[in-house]
Every structure is written in C-alpha cells, then in structure tokens.
Structure 1
C-alpha cells in the first residue's frame, strides 16, 4: 500500500489470542537508584566541560505495565531511556537492577530490545521478507532453531496481532508511518523480549495512529512485558492509557505514579489544573516553570516511592483488553512451534557466525536485485571511460614518440580505479549506520559477519569493474600483449582499486558525511602526486615519508616498470627522431628505479588495503560499543 494509506488495521480486538505462540515468560522489573549522567559539552567560547544531564533519579518500572517517561525537550527523558536500555554506559553512575539483581549488560542485551525513534527499515524488502530474515538471524542458533514452517506461522501470528496481515507483501518504504512503527515493533517481538524500550514511538504520527500505537503497546504489556516509552506531549486520550508515569524536568524526577493520581498530587502542592485542561499539558507547564517554583523534585526525593500506587486494572471496563488471570492463562501454544524455555527463546540466541554471514549476504543480494541501478551505473562508467581513454590514447603503448602520452594513460588508469573504488563506498556506512546500530544493538548479528557480507559484494564487483575497464583500454592503447607484462599490470591496478575501496570504507566509517566526501578525494590527491607530479629526488625531505607510504606511488611506479622495464627492447619510432626509443632511458629520466621490485610493491599495496579493512572494523566496533 502506498505511503499514507489506510490505517484501519489497528490494534487487535479484545478477544484475539495474545501472541499465542509465545511461551510464558519470566517477569522482569527494572529498579534504578541515584542514576546520574554527565555529557561532554563543547563550545567555541569555552573549554570543553562535563555537563550534568541527570541528577540522581530513581524509580521502578514493573512488568505488565506500559510506563511513559514524560518531560519537556531537554529534560533528560531520552537520556534516561538510553541508560536504562544499556545504549549509553559511559559517564553513568548509580545502580540499575533487574528483579533485584545488578544488571548484567551481556545478559540484559538478550532480554531487552530498543526501538529507536527513527523507523530505520530496509525500504526495498517487504514486511514479510524483513521479518523472515530477522527471524532466521535471531532464532536460528542452537538445537532449538525453528523450522521455516514454524517461522512462517510465527510471523503470521505477529502480523495478525499487530494488524499488518494485509500489508505483509508491501515494501517497507511504501508503508505509512504507523505501519512502519508497527513493523519495527514486530521485528523485535520475534524473540519474545520481556523488556521493550521505545523512544518517542508516536513522533510523526497523526492522532489516530498515535492512539493505535499506544493501544498496541498496552496490549503487549498485558502479556507480561515491561514496556517503557518516552513521549513528549501526549493527548488527553493517550495520557489516560498509560499504566504508570515518570515525569522529569531539568534532569530530576518530578512525578512517578499512576496517571489518575497526578492531578490530586499536584493539587496537594497548590498546583490546580484548570477544568477541561489536558493533564499532560499541565504537567509540562509545571515542568517548564510556568506555574512558579514547585519543589516537586525535592518532594519526590523525600518520598522515594511512587506517589500513589494504583492497581494495574483500576481503570476497569474502560480498557479494551480485560486483564483477568483467566484470559492470560488461556494461551494456546501452536503445536508446530518448538516448546522451549524462556531462557532459550527469550535470550534471542543468534545464528552461528557463518550462518549470519550467509543470511546477510543473501539479504544484501536480495536488496540489490530490487534496485541495481547504482551497480549498473558504476559498471557503465567503467566501460564508458575505458572506451574514451582507449580512443584518446589509441596506440600509445607501442610508439616511441608517444611514451609520455602512455605515461599519462598509466597515471590516469591508476587514478581512475583509485577514485571509483574509494568514492563508490565512502557513503556505504553513513547511509547504513542507523540500521546497523539498531540491528546490532538488538543482537541480530555480530559485526564481523555484517562487514564480511558487504565486502563480499563490493570487492568482487569493484574487481569486475576494474577488469572491464582494463580489458578495453589496455587493448585499445596498444600495450604489449605479453603475459609477463599484462598480468602484473592488471594485478597492480586491481590492488589499487582494492586498497582505495578500503580507504573509502574507513573514511565513511569514521567521519560525518559532509566531511567524508571532502576528505576522501583530498587524501587521494595527496597520495597521487608522488611518483607522477613529483619524483623522489625532487621531494623535500620532510615529505619523503609520504612518498614512502603512498600505495598509489608504489602501484603507479610498478605499473610503469611493468610495461617498460624487464629488458624491453627498442620501441618502434615512426618519426625522424624519438627521444625515448630505448625504454631504459625513459625509466631513468622518470626516476623509476631499474631494480623496482614489483612483487614487493604488490604485497605493499595489498597489505595496506588489508590494514584499512581491519581499521574499518575497529572504527565501527568502537562506534557501536563506546557510547
């Protein structure tokens, strides 16, 4: 269905079974005490300093409840959610417990999921395809891995529960905002997490979609999950659907308790909410200081417990799902699905590393098959430039009078494969980082298989493009058709493209987009001046280290030597006089050493590429783990 389509398929009716395939789970309650957080504040006018965001907040979030963290912009609600979810761990003090025991981040990461504010989905995959890949990645490990039939049944039940059955064959990029939000939730429900964190799940949705989203989360909480969300300014209709509130202002808690107890509590402090006024709006006004100094944070610190404890089912018949024990116990387990313990399914045991690689590789190929235009353009450009270069420099490879033109062709070839290899992938990770962060944090897969699945597509394709360019231009420019010269020349150019691609991956993984697209070409220009624009004897001593580490210089000089060295004979001369009739004279004037070690330079270029691929892995690992 096109974006903006009908949102009629909302939360399930009261009599629908509650995700019947899921086994009963252990209830997990989260308790946090005196949580403080400081962030580095950068300013052009002041020295970098640590700014405190949270000031000793405490609270409890219980299973079976939908808890909303409210507060104005900059109050610290998203920061608190990130800390509780384990997404932010640096510069955090205080204690966080799960069922009374200190939180173990490794174990907790398999028990909880974090659905971020942006609905970062694979737009070219249908909803069912996205779910299938996610299920095989998250549930494919161990001896209890479900069969394809079981996975299909499981996905069908989740779609039915979340009202996505009619849209399961629609590409994610064509789903409406509410449908994408439900699909994001569906992807994380596959391994039945007992704790779910959602950052601003209603952002960007219309009022009807917001209500459906909150109703769905309440419905899921009734299955025993601990569901915690942040929300900025809920409507009165949505406000009353929360089971518990946790309000923050200026990094401190100003209210924790039930929505029904909020107005009596505020009234007891002399803060009367006007009639027919949205309680959530009034709470935000109080938090922003529009009603004077209220001292609520000090009062909450003094009380230390929720202001008023309201039973979970206190709203009675107004709720669409009756929370009776009989209703929750009457859960039918589909016989086809493996009946395993909560620890096994709830932990979200990943597939093996090799299986992760295969699944991610197949998924990448699947996505490329839906939109192959970028790949087709890259291949077309390589072939087109090959014909252009071949025509402009036709016959220069075997003519003593055109040796300098061939020198330019060799340089242009190395430069072309370097830039196409580097720039084609510089934006790979900046465009992917949101999806990678979400999927990796929620334990879909490890970083190694993910990178390998990308490299195994990009590296062979770039090699094929480079070989396509070389096959055409090498023949049209009249280069020597000797295996001892052709093969090393091709290998050097391909290795140059390989290493440039590694630099492109690394630059994209470490720098913002606007900087990466500038730094990438700049480094390429810097490295390419050595060996062509300036030779060793003319290079100032303070820059000779750049001459030595330039993989482009090593490849270019070796390519020239490959074509004109190794005792190449007299070059044909069609003019009265040709200055470079003897190839060795040309090499001497161009400062190409007569003992150039082509094999060593090939290994140097290749090892530089390997080092940069490893550096890319390290850079992404740090970006994903150090927060």
Structure 2
C-alpha cells in the first residue's frame, strides 16, 4: 500500500518522545499499516410482530427473526476514510457496532461472519483497544470538567506514561483538534453554558484519540450539528485519514458539500450493501442501474429518498432492491474481493498487536479516579449547593417537628420516636443525592467500563472515599442543628456519639 512519508513540521514533532510515541506519533504516518476486513456478516435479532404486520402478513406467531445486516463484506486500509450511509433502519449503526465488536450478543441475537485485522486476527473486545477507538453518537463528558481536563484524565487513565509525556500528549491532541481557544471552557449542559456542539464533538473525539488508535470508529459524528460545523468535522476526519489513520463513520443526511468531501462511501439498503467504493463514482454506478441522480441535486438526498424500504415493503421497493443488490454483486463486489487480496499491510501477530494497549495499573487507576471524583465534586457548581441546601432543609424540618419534646413519659416516647424519624430521614436523603449524582455520571462510567479503561473495584472504592468528608460534614451540620433543638443533654461525648451514629447511618 502506498504511504505518505511527509512529516508535519511542528514543535511537537521535535519533542523527546517515549518509545510508544516514537513508534506511532499522533496523526503522523509512522503508524502500523493495518487492514480491517469483514466477511459475510449476517446479524439477526428476535423482534415482535405488530398487529398491523400480523394482519398484513397473515401470521399468528408473536415473534420473528429480523435480519438487520445481510451478507456484508468489505475492507478498509490505512489512509481510508469510509462513510456509511443509508436511510433510517438500513443497518448503519449495527454494521459499525459489529465491526468494532460493540454489538449486543444476547441470546435473542445471532451474528455470523468474521471481522479480521490483516486477514488473520479476529476483532474482539479484548484486543479492540490495542488498535482502535470508538466515538459514540452522544458526547459522554463530565459537565463540570473543562475541555482540557476531560482529555487529561482520559490520557492518565489509558496511557501508562510519565507526567511529562502525558502532558505532551494532551497538548498535541488539543493543538491538532483545534481546541486551544476552548481548552479552559467547562463542558456544560442545558442549564450551564459551556462548549458548543462542535467543540463537544471534537472533545469527545480527542478523548478517544489519546490512545493514538490506528482505526477510528464514529457513530454519526455530525448528528445535531449545523451544516457548517458538520463540514468542519468531516474535513477533520478526512484529514486524519490523509495522515495515516483509518476512519470508519456512519453519517446521516449530509449536505452536498459534505457528501462530495467523502473519499469513500458504503451505502446500505434494508441491511444489504448496495454500493462500496469512491463516493462520486456512485453516481455513475446507479445511473447504469437505471437510477440517475437528478441534475443539480444532492446525491445523498436522492439516495436516502430513493433507496428506502417503507413499512409496507411494496412490490416496487422489493424489485428495486433486487436490482440494486444484483448490480452490487455483479459490478462492485468482485472489485472489493480483488482489493482485499491485493492490499498490503504490516505482518503483525495478535501478541504484537496487544503491545499497543497500555492501561494504568490498579493502584494508579484508583488514585486517578479518586482525583477525578474529587475534582468533579469540588468544581461542579451544583453538587455541593444541592447537597448543602438539601441537608439544611431536612435539618430545619426536623428541628421544627422535634423541638424539645420534654422529659416526661410522653416526652421520652417522643424522643425515641424522634430518633427513629432521624434514622429514616438520614438514611434515604443521602441515597437520593447519591442516585442523582451517579445518574449524571453513569453514561461516562458505562462507556469507560465497557472499553476496559478501568475496573469496577477501583471506581467503587474511589467514589466511596470521596463521599466520606462531604457526608461527614453534612452529618455534622445536621447533628448540630437537630441535637440542640431536641433539648438533649449538653455533653461533648454524647453529642459525638449522636454525630457518629448519624454519620454511620448516612453510609449504610
């Protein structure tokens, strides 16, 4: 395979780099020449018939096997940027998830075929991180972090490098992704002003690029972005490919300028591959099959509208699909098969491939996660405020309800009841705040854990330890307000026992 040997003349390329960086510099062309190929992929899921489908098809059974991807084959090599298109339900994301081994493998699903690296190494979740990265459609970032902190913590967790090397890697990523102006800007959310949609997208890509993957998978990277920002994102991906990466991305309804910038296109229709090759050559291919793109129209709009299978699956649509699939099998597929055989790539064993996977050890994972959780709590503008207001509200309500019950029999019974009320209140209140904070963090955790960035144990321990000083402080505030309002004996030892009981109760 021909390779571009030009080097980028930037100061970052002149730095003293570790062996890992020297072997495969970020966005340079010194990386490994890997080919990813997929062979006869078929993916089915167990689906439920709707009442309309039962009536239309005249069936009585409740479930059927729905084919999502059908007999798909193809390949990508170093320097390729392949964009997968198709109408809704065509199987774009499913195919991408199969190639990246992110697909669901439940008992109600069936996957046939192979996805290989260099024709011999099967792609699995165990080796995926050694050569590839996956950017999800949604931006899973800590909303209280700055752009720079998101990238920094990702680098510290995923790369077993020194502090200086990590800082150098982060700096390179920020520069190459064009994030210098927003590096200190908070990610934000619907209520907190922060990064723009395009900046969030580039930050998500930067987080995955810290491992310097040979192959980059992206699920609809332009989703939710305006046409200008979408064009910039696609141009960035094409630039990655030109500098030695392999880019495979799904994309939905690009404008004409974005579409024409695609180097390669893979078009799906109802799970079938109906085109794969140079993007603009698709116009001539479909013209020969009797589906010419109207003059002055956007080919992508025409493809999505014309090559769509409706819910009713009309006979005309079925006939059209047969023509397109037959045209692909006769004209395109032989070229793909020939290309697979003629592609050159580096000879590499799975053991050598796995050398590219570097992760922090258990203790380092724990320390970094502890630092990250502490940073998240301190710098999130809402977490401390929400918890402080919550504990003050509960304490003041308890003070009003439990105020000095007295020392007679009824007062003693009231005091005992007060302790039960306090126990119940300070058991469920911390749970509510913990659930609220974890629900915001859950998408990030699920993505990182599925990518084997860290283990469950260091994550759980670090999060629990971060809560100790905060929960202890809230317990102290609650104890001071409630203890003295109940008219209990003013004794330091007894107050400490009360405070300790409240604190331990909050951790149960």
> Per the shorter chain, which TM-score range?
0.7 to 0.9
Could you list the per-position Cα deviations for residues 397-435 of structure 1 after superposition, in whole angstroms to 9, with x for gaps in the alignment? 633232332233122211211221221122333322222
CA, structure 1 residues 310+272, in 2 after alignment: closer, same or farther (shift >3 Å)? farther
Distance 1:281 1:306 in 2: 27
Distance 2:125 2:332 in 1: 26
Give the superposition deviation at 1:437: 2.8
- For structure 1, the 5+ residue unaligned runs are 1-13, 312-340, 500-627
Number of the residue aligned with 1:27? 33
Number of the residue aligned with 2:475? 466
Q: Does 1:117 align with 2:126?
A: no
TM-score, structure 1 length as denominator?
Answer: 0.65
Indicate if the aligned counterparts of 1:71 and 1:232 stay in contact, CA closer than 8 A. Answer: yes
Distance 2:404 2:196 in 1: 58
Determine which of 433, 439, 454 is the counterpart of 1:430. Answer: 439
Distance 1:394 1:308 in 2: 81
Larger mean Cα displacement after TM superposition, 450-459 or 392-401: 392-401
Distance 1:247 1:310 in 2: 19
Superposed counterparts of 1:286-325, under 5 Å: 286-288=306-308, 293-294=319-320, 295=322, 296-301=324-329, 305=333
Q: Does 1:251 align with 2:279?
A: no
Could you list the per-position Cα deviations for residues 198-224 of structure 1 after superposition, in whole angstroms to 9, with x for gaps in the alignment? 011111222221221111111111232
Give the superposition deviation at 1:43: 7.0
Indicate if the aligned counterparts of 1:257 and 1:306 stay in contact, CA closer than 8 A. Answer: no
CA, structure 1 residues 260+304, in 2 after alignment: closer, same or farther (shift >3 Å)? closer
Determine which of 143, 148, 152 is the counterpart of 1:128. Answer: 148
Could you say what secondary structure the match of 1:355 adopts? helix
Give the superposition deviation at 1:380: 4.2
CA, structure 1 residues 307+263, in 2 after alignment: closer, same or farther (shift >3 Å)? farther
Could you say what secondary structure the match of 2:434 adopts? coil
Give the superposition deviation at 1:64: 0.9
Distance 2:243 2:34 in 1: 12
Give the superposition deviation at 1:287: 1.4
Could you say what secondary structure the match of 1:204 adopts? coil
CA, structure 1 residues 118+482, in 2 after alignment: closer, same or farther (shift >3 Å)? same
Give the superposition deviation at 1:77: 0.2
Larger mean Cα displacement after TM superposition, 352-361 or 365-374: 365-374
- For structure 2, the 5+ residue unaligned runs are 1-5, 14-20, 52-60, 189-193, 311-315, 340-350
Superposed counterparts of 1:146-545, under 5 Å: 146-148=162-164, 150-173=165-188, 174-288=194-308, 293-294=319-320, 295=322, 296-301=324-329, 305=333, 346-347=356-357, 349-390=358-399, 392-396=401-405, 398-479=407-488, 493-499=502-508
Number of the residue aligned with 2:95? 80
Give the superposition deviation at 1:69: 0.5
Distance 2:412 2:48 in 1: 56
CA, structure 1 residues 309+157, in 2 after alignment: closer, same or farther (shift >3 Å)? farther
How well do the aligned residues superpose, as a CA RMSD in angstroms?
Answer: 3.2
Indicate if the aligned counterparts of 1:397 and 1:479 stay in contact, CA closer than 8 A. Answer: no
Could you say what secondary structure the match of 2:435 adopts? coil
Distance 1:76 1:460 in 2: 49
Which structure: larger Rg? 1
Indicate if the aligned counterparts of 2:130 and 2:355 stay in contact, CA closer than 8 A. Answer: no
Give the superposition deviation at 1:358: 1.5
Determine which of 65, 73, 76 is the counterpart of 1:61. Answer: 76
CA, structure 1 residues 85+393, in 2 after alignment: closer, same or farther (shift >3 Å)? same
Distance 1:301 1:429 in 2: 50
Number of the residue aligned with 2:313? none
Could you say what secondary structure the match of 2:34 adopts? coil
Number of the residue aligned with 1:557? none
Could you say what secondary structure the match of 1:427 adopts? helix
Distance 2:264 2:237 in 1: 13
Distance 2:146 2:260 in 1: 35
Distance 1:147 1:234 in 2: 41
Distance 1:164 1:380 in 2: 36
Distance 2:182 2:487 in 1: 58
Count of matched residue positions in the alignment of Structure 1 and Structure 2? 451
CA, structure 1 residues 233+389, in 2 after alignment: closer, same or farther (shift >3 Å)? closer
Number of the residue aligned with 1:96? 115
